[in-house]
Amino acid sequence: MRPWSYGGLSLAAAWCAPAPAPVVPHVAKAFRIALRIRHGSGVALTFDDGPHPIGTPAVLDLLHTAGARATFFLVGEQVERWPAVAAEIAAAGHEIALHGYRHRLLLRRTPIALERDLDLAAETIAAATGRIPVWYRPPYGVFSAGGLALVRRRRLAPLLWSRWGRDWEARATPEGVARRATTGLRPGDVVLLHDADHYSSDGSWRTTVAALPLVLEAIARCGLQCVGVTEST
Q: What average pLDDT score do residues 148-160 get?
A: 94
Q: Higher pLDDT residue, 6 or 96?
A: 96
Cis peptide before 51 (omega within 30 of 0): yes
Q: Higher pLDDT residue, 214 or 110?
A: 214
The pLDDT value given to residue 64: 98
The pLDDT value given to residue 14: 36
194 flagged as catalytic: yes
> Which of 31-40, 92-101, 116-125, 212-221 shows the lowest mean pLDDT across its residues?
31-40
CA gap 170, 78 in Å, rounded: 21
The pLDDT value given to residue 156: 96
- Contact (Cβ atoms closer than 8 angstroms) between residue 58 and residue 204: no
Strand bridging mode 70-74 / 157-158 = unpaired
Q: What is the pTM of this model?
A: 0.90
Q: How confident is the model at residue 26 (pLDDT cuts 50, 70, 90)?
A: low
CA distances from 6 to 12, 14, 19, 28, 230 (A): 12, 7, 9, 17, 32
3-state SS, 4-19, equals: CCCCCCCHHHHCCCCC
9: pLDDT strictly greater than 80: no
Rg (CA), the chain: 16
32: pLDDT strictly greater than 80: yes
Q: How confident is the model at residue 31 (pLDDT cuts 50, 70, 90)?
A: confident
Express each pLDDT in 157-177 by its tens digit: 999 999 999 999 999 999 999
Catalytic residue among 49, 167, 194, 195: 194
The pLDDT value given to residue 232: 67
Q: Distance between the two ends of the chain, CA-based, in angstroms? A: 30
21: pLDDT strictly greater than 70: no
48 flagged as catalytic: yes
User: Which domains, ranges and CATH numbers included, belong to the chain?
Assistant: 41-226 (3.20.20.370)
Express each pLDDT in 100-146 by its tens digit: 999 999 988 898 999 999 999 999 999 999 999 999 999 999 888 89
* Mean of the per-residue pLDDT values of the chain: 89
Q: How many other CB atoms sit within 10 Å of the CB of residue 104?
A: 16
The pLDDT value given to residue 24: 53
Catalytic residue among 48, 49, 195, 197: 48
Express each pLDDT in 52-103 by its tens digit: 999 999 999 999 999 999 999 999 999 999 999 999 999 999 999 999 999 9
